[in-house]
């Protein structure tokens, strides 16, 4: 095995065989069609049993232990950490530690320095001693990789809150940033919405530079305890990195001369910005990290813990906690009920559930009630566009997203609702909003339009994950598919989206997946969209995609792709242990491409049928969702249920979708 640049080996990570995998050795005695139909029935029953009484579905959203560690650090900072919560979090964090003492950011992945540091500190808070074997192994690994000094900026901010790192050795982020006009580079609306929601409160933290008494030293995480903060060399001035490093030095100098009245006004502006964007349930954007930093920022600005804004914010953080049967407590980075519900609705409808089935109608009712009908941050770029999108989470009216809106419309079209006029009006608003959010290049991003400036990624502060929201193939494909089903295949805006997708195809025939892992997800999204929009299955782009999918099919008949494809595309593109969700994505593309009777489809269907559990579910420890490519990965626990059911249902019913596209006349 050869080592890759991320410190992992070039081979697939080892894993223990699950109960579902052992079934692969059992031959499928019935025909493929019969096996698929049986799997559809069991999967349908399982998914129906998981619907909430209000009509929604929601699977656990698993990320990594940084969420749990930062939750404990927040509670320590605010003075509200309790022993029961601490020990429950520690139980989960210990259970995620790898044999080499590290913590990874996805199942089977390599140890990650910042996640390991944060997990280690959390366990110190829980009382684990530095010389405990599991702790000593972790700290030794951290020192070998450069110690705290080599960690990402966000990790060092958390440590600076307790004096374990110097604020002076962190990039400066002045609150006056909020005064940059919208046309100015690096204004806050040049950042993606998730970064914007985090950066604004962090400008307050950066200005205040608070330090709480450290409950213990962390010398064991420095390469040299006598010199914990070694100076970092500057990149050449002729490079972008060098330019922005020197810009940071200028901003640091500004701190010393900042006009007090201007600084105070900027902090007040930041406070208003944060409070105005708090959702009705107390969260911020339905995402845990912005909520954490917003609570800290407001606390530093004088909001006490009993203030209604703070009380609601802290209560919202508790709702991100998943308590497991063993007493462990896992923190979700966010929650995905709208996304899960529309995907479940599509899966059940495409599996043959009657369009007027009571549970589908109940799901439609719930989705209709979740439509966002007021302006949000997206209005900055589209001030005249009426609202009408859907968000990802329970409460997130400020940031509806284009992807959810497209899939909700596709889901609603599959339901025969008792109030069709209400459905038509909601769909009309959603379609109009999505069309209005098209970027200049003809494609669609997730939350904003034309959010393509590369300057934010260059900031020394932004060393973790994607901080902008450019158009992506998967989101664009979902919008194009939705527009096709609305009878708008020949609309000039749809055609521009199609042309963009065709131009984005990789030389090997695949498409990059921004919000799912990775080329299998991108290809599984684009091919059904292109054929729904009228491209013949004989089109060269479709044939190249089919060839690529056939080439990367695993020997067991399934498909899989490891997250390392984001860093090593040539080596890992379309390569990885077979998973239920990724196999389904490949099958959805092949079925849309007219390959229902192909050997590749037959083998894929057999794999899904053979690996299904007795209760109708599938096992999937691997992470197939993407927050930030490579840097932040997601295991959507419902993906392993909804996508296999969708693929199997489409196979059984010999269709590429469960609803018929509307005609141009119907689409208006």
Residue 401 belongs to some domain of the structure = yes
Q: What token pair was written down for 356?
A: 């007027």
The phi and psi torsions of 179 (rounded to 5 degrees) equal: -90, -5
Q: Mean pLDDT over residues 596-600, rounded?
A: 96
| 243, pLDDT greater than 60 | no
**Which residues does residue 3 pair with via DSSP β-bridges, in sequence order?**
9
| 284, pLDDT greater than 70 | yes
Q: Give CA angle at 209 (207, 210), nearest 5°.
A: 135
In this prediction, residue 390 carries a pLDDT of 98
Q: What is the CATH number of the domain that holds 408?
A: 1.50.10.20
In this prediction, residue 630 carries a pLDDT of 93
The phi and psi torsions of 3 (rounded to 5 degrees) equal: -85, 140
- 87 and 51 within one domain: no
H-assigned helices in 113-165: 113-125, 133-144, 153-160
- 313 and 212 within one domain: yes
Residue 164 belongs to some domain of the structure = yes
Q: How far apart are CA 260 and CA 79, in angstroms?
A: 29
Is residue 178 within 8 A of residue 203, CB to CB? The reply is yes
Is residue 346 within 8 A of residue 407, CB to CB? The reply is yes
Q: How far apart are CA 252 and CA 172, in angstroms?
A: 6
Three-state DSSP state, 605? helix
| 265, pLDDT greater than 50 | yes
| 9, pLDDT greater than 50 | no
Other beta carbons within 10 angstroms of residue 185's beta carbon come to 10
Q: What is the largest CA-CA distance in the chain?
A: 79
Q: Mean pLDDT over residues 278-293, rounded?
A: 93
Average pLDDT, the chain: 91
Three-state DSSP state, 182? coil
Residues 6+ apart with CB under 8 A from 125: 72, 73, 76, 81, 86, 90, 215
- 146 and 86 within one domain: yes
Q: Mean pLDDT over residues 611-630, rounded?
A: 97
Of 576, 606, 591, 609, the residue nearest 524 (C-alpha): 591
- 92 and 47 within one domain: no
Residue 306 belongs to some domain of the structure = yes
Rg (CA), the chain: 25
- 446 and 352 within one domain: yes
Least confident of 352-361, 363-372, 384-393, 449-458: 449-458
Tens-place pLDDT, residues 170-187 = 988 899 999 999 888 889
Residue 19 belongs to some domain of the structure = no
Q: What token pair was written down for 602?
A: 């037959």
Is residue 478 within 8 A of residue 465, CB to CB? The reply is no
Other beta carbons within 10 angstroms of residue 432's beta carbon come to 15
| 17, pLDDT greater than 70 | no
**Which residues does residue 62 pair with via DSSP β-bridges, in sequence order?**
635
Residue 467 belongs to some domain of the structure = no
Q: Mean pLDDT over residues 435-460, rounded?
A: 92
- 554 and 491 within one domain: yes
Q: How far apart are CA 362 and CA 412, in angstroms?
A: 11
Residue 415 belongs to some domain of the structure = yes
CA dihedral 569, 575, 578, 584 (to 10 degrees): 60
| Backbone CA torsion sign across 306, 312, 314, 315 | positive
C-alpha 347, offset from chain centre: 21
| Total number of domains constituting the chain | 2
The phi and psi torsions of 111 (rounded to 5 degrees) equal: -60, 140
* Token pair 């307050």 in the structure block, residue: 204
- 102 and 219 within one domain: yes
E-state strands within 396-452: none
Q: DSSP string of 63-115?
A: --THHHHHHHHHHHHHT---HHHHHHHHHHHHHT--TTS--BSSTTPPB-HHH
In this prediction, residue 29 carries a pLDDT of 39
Q: How confident is the model at residue 22 (pLDDT cuts 50, 70, 90)?
A: very low
Tens-place pLDDT, residues 100-154 = 999 999 999 999 999 999 999 999 999 999 999 999 999 999 999 999 999 999 9
Residue 131 belongs to some domain of the structure = yes
Of 260, 246, 347, 254, the residue nearest 580 (C-alpha): 347
Q: How far apart are CA 382 and CA 136, in angstroms?
A: 53
- 104 and 55 within one domain: no
Domain boundary among 306, 331, 356: 331
Domain boundary among 298, 331, 364: 331
Residues 6+ apart with CB under 8 A from 332: 60, 61, 62, 63, 67, 288, 320, 321, 322
Other beta carbons within 10 angstroms of residue 45's beta carbon come to 11
Is residue 159 within 8 A of residue 165, CB to CB? The reply is yes
Q: How far apart are CA 68 and CA 218, in angstroms?
A: 19
Q: How far apart are CA 576 and CA 546, in angstroms?
A: 18
Residue 22 belongs to some domain of the structure = no
Q: Which domain holds residue 377?
A: 31-59+336-455+472-667
Q: Identify which has the larger pLDDT, 37 or 10.
A: 37
Residue 540 vs residues 86, 213, 257, 505, 594: alpha-carbon distances, Å: 57, 64, 61, 11, 14
Residues 6+ apart with CB under 8 A from 417: 361, 364, 365, 423
Is residue 546 within 8 A of residue 536, CB to CB? The reply is no
Of 387, 377, 397, 466, the residue nearest 189 (C-alpha): 377
Q: How confident is the model at residue 398 (pLDDT cuts 50, 70, 90)?
A: very high
- 551 and 418 within one domain: yes
- 260 and 160 within one domain: yes
| 226, pLDDT greater than 60 | no
Q: How confident is the model at residue 158 (pLDDT cuts 50, 70, 90)?
A: very high
Q: How far apart are CA 165 and CA 486, in angstroms?
A: 55
Domain boundary among 331, 362, 397: 331
Catalytic positions: 403
Tens-place pLDDT, residues 51-103 = 999 999 999 999 999 999 999 999 999 999 999 999 999 999 999 999 999 99
Q: How confident is the model at residue 48 (pLDDT cuts 50, 70, 90)?
A: very high
| 21, pLDDT greater than 50 | no
- 309 and 408 within one domain: no
| Backbone CA torsion sign across 158, 465, 565, 245 | negative
- 435 and 316 within one domain: no
């Amino acid at each position: 095995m050869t080592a890759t640049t991320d410190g992992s080996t070039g081979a697939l990570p080892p894993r223990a065989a699950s109960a579902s995998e052992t079934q692969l050795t059992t031959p499928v005695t019935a025909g493929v069609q019969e096996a698929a139909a049986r799997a559809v029935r069991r999967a349908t029953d399982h998914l129906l049993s998981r619907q909430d009484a209000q009509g929604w579905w929601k699977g656990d959203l698993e990320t990594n232990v940084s969420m749990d560690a930062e939750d404990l650090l927040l509670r320590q900072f605010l003075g509200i950490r309790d022993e029961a919560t601490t020990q429950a979090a520690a139980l989960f964090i210990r259970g995620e530690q790898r044999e080499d003492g590290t913590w990874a950011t996805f199942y089977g992945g390599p140890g990650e320095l910042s996640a390991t540091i944060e997990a280690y500190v959390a366990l110190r808070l829980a009382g684990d001693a530095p010389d405990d074997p599991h702790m000593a192994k972790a700290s030794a690994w951290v020192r070998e990789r450069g110690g705290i000094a080599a960690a990402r900026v966000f990790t060092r901010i958390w440590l600076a809150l307790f004096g374990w790192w110097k604020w002076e050795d962190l990039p400066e982020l002045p609150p006056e940033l909020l005064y940059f006009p919208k046309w100015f580079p690096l204004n806050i609306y040049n950042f993606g919405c998730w970064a914007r929601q985090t950066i604004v409160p962090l400008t307050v933290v950066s200005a205040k530079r608070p330090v709480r008494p450290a409950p213990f030293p962390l010398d064991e995480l420095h390469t040299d305890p006598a010199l914990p903060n070694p100076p970092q060399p500057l990149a050449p001035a002729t490079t972008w990195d060098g330019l922005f490093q020197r810009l940071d030095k200028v901003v640091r100098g500004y701190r010393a001369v900042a006009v007090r009245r201007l600084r105070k006004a900027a902090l007040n502006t930041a406070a208003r910005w944060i409070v105005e964007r708090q959702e009705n349930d107390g969260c911020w954007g339905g995402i845990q990290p912005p909520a954490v930093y917003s609570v800290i920022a407001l606390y530093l600005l004088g909001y006490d813990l009993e203030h209604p804004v703070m009380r609601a914010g802290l209560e919202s953080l508790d709702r991100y906690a998943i308590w497991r049967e063993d007493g462990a407590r896992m923190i979700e980075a966010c929650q995905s009920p709208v996304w899960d519900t529309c995907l479940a609705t599509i899966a059940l409808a495409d599996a043959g559930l009657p369009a007027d089935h009571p549970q589908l109608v109940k799901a439609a009712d719930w989705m209709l009630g979740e439509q966002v009908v007021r302006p949000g941050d997206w209005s900055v770029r589209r001030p005249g566009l009426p609202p009408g999108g859907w968000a990802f989470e329970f409460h997130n009216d400020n940031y509806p997203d284009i992807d959810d809106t497209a899939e909700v419309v596709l889901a609603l079209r599959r339901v025969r609702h008792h109030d069709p006029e209400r459905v038509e009006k909601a769909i009309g608003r959603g379609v109009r909003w999505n069309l209005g959010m098209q970027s200049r290049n003809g494609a669609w991003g997730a939350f904003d339009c034309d959010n393509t400036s590369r300057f934010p990624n260059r900031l020394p502060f932004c060393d973790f994950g994607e901080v902008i929201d450019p158009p992506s193939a998967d989101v664009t494909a979902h919008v194009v598919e939705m527009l096709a089903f609305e009878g708008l295949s020949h609309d000039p805006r749809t055609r521009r989206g199609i042309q963009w997708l065709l131009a984005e195809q990789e030389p090997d025939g695949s498409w990059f997946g921004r919000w799912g892992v990775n080329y299998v997800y991108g290809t599984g999204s684009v091919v059904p969209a292109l054929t729904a929009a009228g491209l013949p299955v004989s089109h060269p782009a479709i044939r190249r995609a089919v060839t690529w999918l056939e080439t990367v099919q695993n020997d067991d008949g399934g498909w899989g792709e490891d997250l390392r494809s984001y860093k090593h595309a040539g080596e890992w593109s379309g390569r990885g242990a077979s998973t239920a969700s990724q196999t389904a994505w490949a099958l959805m593309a092949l079925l849309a491409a007219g390959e229902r009777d192909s050997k590749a489809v037959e083998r894929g269907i057999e794999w899904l049928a053979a690996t299904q559990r007795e209760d109708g579910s599938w096992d999937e420890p691997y992470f197939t969702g993407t927050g930030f490519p490579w840097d932040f990965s997601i295991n959507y626990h419902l993906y392993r249920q909804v996508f296999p059911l969708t693929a199997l249902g489409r196979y059984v019913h010999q269709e590429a979708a469960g609803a018929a596209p509307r005609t141009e006349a119907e689409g208006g």
